[in-house]
Amino acid sequence: MDFSFTPEEEKFRDELRTWLEVNLPAGWIEGTYVMPEEDAAKGAFLREWQHKLSEGGWAGISWPKEYGGRGASLIEEVIYEQEMARVKAPPVLNIIGTAMVGPTLLQIGTDKQKEQYIHKILNGEEIWCQGYSEPSAGSDLAAIQTRAVKQGENWIINGQKTWTSYAHFADRCFVLARTEDTGKKHEGITAFLVDIHQEGVERQTIRSINDKRDFNEMFFDNAVVHESDIVGEVNDGWRVGLILLSHERVGVARQTFRLQKLFEELLDLTKNLKRNGRPLIQDPIVRQKLAGFRAETRALLLNYYRHLTETIRNGRPGPEGSIDKLNSSELSQRILSFAISLQGESSLLWKEDALVSPSWQQDYLRAYAHTIEGGTSEIQKNIIAERILGLPKDIKY
């Protein structure tokens, strides 16, 4: 396997690096800029960042050029994620829109839907969220109970969604709702594009263990959506939903490259923290642990490149992505847990009282979500067992 990049691809990287140096907030790359915490200020900051990305041609880079993208190749998407991880760029507020909803509409949306939504998704004028999970339908997505009933040209939606990322900033939601009971869970589901500023939608932020409020509960009480905002056909939502999820292909790349950056930060932490007057990196036990993490992060990266090569060769991602997702999410937990243990009793300190950057504590607590979101570790293990190793499926009782 050849992991080198062509001159054209390196030119793409250089162009992105130059743009980031000019457009990131002053002090961002040096680590002195502090992103706002309060919701309104944070939302305004991230919307402005989305707008900058769009103006620079760095939002939705894989989108066709006629819709405002760059028509980037899969390798260029990977380079993009490498560079964003290198500078720990601000999160893309409209990531659900640019990475999932937009590409789905470009693939199977109507001309009216493309005209109405595509441009606003790219420039951040309309922020999107994703209404999939429910209190009793997380990993088993087909068990959703949110319902939609036809009333003239409209559909009336009632139900609840949970763990909806960035819904408190969002303007619209890609919602899966049950429209018919056939006795088979995967049937009778329809995908809707819902305006969530209407009276029939209530949003409540969920306070996470790391004191962040990025997730939400959403309640639909006779929410109205016009039939023109159905994606695909009525009762074809399961297929449509899988199409949307298939566009999340760079999510694993993002986590893989962030882990390489996380290991570098762990190295710096061991150089700066001292025990008995000596930097922790001089401790043989710490060095042994670092060597192990170095081997694991490198193996994760090379394994990802191997799967990327297969994707390019076959023209589509395969189930091997579950290996990358499983390993990256569990490895991040272990690295962050080790970083916390190095701080000793000081690891209990929070925010401005922390001995080192409080992001270690916050990221450690947030890491437990990595093995849940996007398909739990248990789900990934089943996929690996059944679709890669050829083992029999679980017995259903």
Residues involved in catalysis: 248
| Length of the chain (residues) | 397
Beta bridge partners of 225: 155
Task: Dump the DSSP string for 56-94.
Answer: HT-SSTTS-GGGTS----HHHHHHHHHHHHHTTPPP-TT
Tokens 């991880």 sit on residue: 85
Task: Dump the DSSP string for 277-325.
Answer: TEEGGGSHHHHHHHHHHHHHHHHHHHHHHHHHHHHHHHTS--TTHHHHH
What CA–CA distance (Å, rounded) separates 302 from 309?
Answer: 10
Cβ atoms of residues 288 and 349 within 8 Å: no
Q: Which of 136, 117, 215, 217 is nearest to 178 (CA)?
A: 136
Q: Give the count of beta carbons closer than 10 Å to the beta carbon of residue 301.
A: 17
Helix axes of 74-86 and 7-23: crossing angle, nearest 10 degrees: 40
Structure tokens, 221: 């009480």
Beta bridge partners of 219: 160, 202
CB under 8 Å to 67, separation ≥6 — which residues? 60, 106, 114, 118, 119, 122
What CA–CA distance (Å, rounded) separates 364 from 368?
Answer: 7
Say what the alpha-carbon torsion angle 328, 334, 340, 344 is, to the nearest 10 degrees.
Answer: -170
Alpha carbon separation from 40 to 36, 45, 148, 168, 388 (Å, rounded)? 9, 9, 32, 10, 45
Q: Which of 40, 176, 19, 138 is nearest to 89 (CA)?
A: 19
